[in-house]
């Protein structure tokens, strides 16, 4: 009994120690809707090194769509917080996804489950929807990118993108994945408000399969490899 208690207290202290560096790194608030892998799950039974946790860097999403009073962002001591709507209440009946808000915003409009206003006052004004796909060939093994104007012009005005983010001319813009992940080009919106960039969403943008005979170009180091 006493032994058990000791272990319990020990592992709690350990858990704190283990999570302290992570805390310092992102001050808790910056870890997003993510949770460090359960502290305390150590590979070694003896405390040889407390740094041997099974997952060092994996962050998993925990309890998406938490109510405002429990989301770690709104102050539960503020009366207004308890009047705010919990997201889950609002999302009931909308098509779901496994990322972002966990709502498929495009389908919600396509299936007429939602009809957000296009004008601040006039609820009958319709968006100017333009159906034009732009294909961008990608120099990597992932499928090519199809940029669909239709889904974008359901939500946005041309002036939201042209010309500040994209010159309106096919191929006139330099885009790559690092820029997107840093919040530029497509990343101005994707990864912030529109769907995020995760393994589950790559194929939303990378949606046009490569020709069957396509293979990735070999790097110079391989072509000139003297030991080949």
Q: Which does 22 bind (CB under 5 to 8 A by kind): ligand HEC, other proteins, none?
A: other proteins
Give the Cα separation of 71 and 81 in Å (integer).
11
- Closest contact distance (angstroms) between CB of 78 and ligand HEC is 11
Residues 54 and 43: beta-carbon distance below 8 Å: yes
Q: Which of residues 71-130 bind ligand HEC (CB under 6 A)?
A: 84-85, 105-106, 120, 128, 130
- In the complex, least distance from residue 58 CB atom to ligand HEC, rounded to whole angstroms: 15
Q: Strand 59-61 to strand 34-36: parallel, antiparallel, or no bridges (unpaired)?
A: antiparallel
Site for other proteins in 17-56 (CB under 8 A): 19-20, 22-23, 25-36, 39
What is the rounded CA–CA span in Å between residue 219 and residue 151? 37
Does 167 bind other proteins (CB under 8 A)? Our answer is no
Nearest-approach distance from CB 121 to ligand HEC, in angstroms: 9
Applying CB under 6 A, which part among 5-13, 27-35, 36-44, 175-183 lies near ligand HEC? Answer: 175-183
Contact pick of 96, 115, 173, 184 for ligand HEC (by CB under 6 A): 173
With H, G, I as helix, E, B as strand and everything else as coil, classify residue 77. coil
Paired tokens of 170 = 């096919």
Q: How far is it, in rounded angstroms, from Cα 108 to Cα 111?
A: 5
Residue 85's contacts (CB-CB under 8 Å, 6 or more residues apart) are 68
Q: How many CB atoms lie within 10 A of CB 105?
A: 20
Find the binder of ligand HEC among 134, 143, 208, 210 (CB under 6 A).
134
For residue 70, the minimal CB distance to other proteins (Å) is 8
How many residues can be counted in the chain? 228
- Residue 175 CA to residue 185 CA, distance in Å, equals 7
| Residues of the shown chain interacting with ligand HEC in the complex, contacts defined by CB under 6 A | 84-85, 105-106, 120, 128, 130, 134, 136, 138, 140, 142, 145, 147-149, 151-153, 155-156, 158, 160-162, 165-166, 168-173, 175-178, 180, 183, 185-186, 188-190, 192-195, 197-199, 201-202, 204-206
């Amino acid at each position: 009994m006493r032994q058990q208690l000791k272990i319990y207290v020990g592992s709690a202290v350990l858990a704190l120690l283990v999570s302290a560096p992570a805390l310092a790194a992102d001050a808790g608030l910056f870890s997003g809707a993510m949770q460090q892998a359960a502290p305390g799950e150590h590979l070694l039974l003896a405390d040889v090194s407390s740094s041997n946790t099974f997952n060092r860097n994996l962050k998993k999403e925990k309890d998406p769509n938490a109510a405002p009073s429990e989301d770690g962002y709104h102050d539960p001591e503020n009366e207004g917080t308890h009047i705010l709507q919990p997201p889950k209440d609002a999302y009931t009946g909308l098509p779901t996804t496994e990322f972002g808000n966990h709502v498929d915003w495009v389908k919600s409009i396509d299936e007429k489950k939602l009809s957000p206003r296009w004008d601040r006052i006039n609820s009958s004004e319709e968006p100017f929807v333009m159906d034009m796909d732009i294909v961008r060939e990608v120099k990597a093994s992932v499928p090519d990118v199809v940029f669909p104007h239709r889904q974008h012009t359901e939500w946005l005005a041309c002036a939201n993108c042209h010309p500040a983010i994209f010159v309106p001319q096919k191929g006139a813009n330099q885009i790559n994945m690092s820029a997107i992940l840093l919040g530029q080009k497509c990343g101005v919106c994707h990864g912030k408000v529109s769907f995020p960039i995760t393994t589950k969403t790559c194929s939303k943008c990378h949606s046009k399969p490569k020709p069957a005979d396509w293979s990735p170009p070999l790097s110079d180091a391989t072509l000139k490899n003297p030991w080949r």
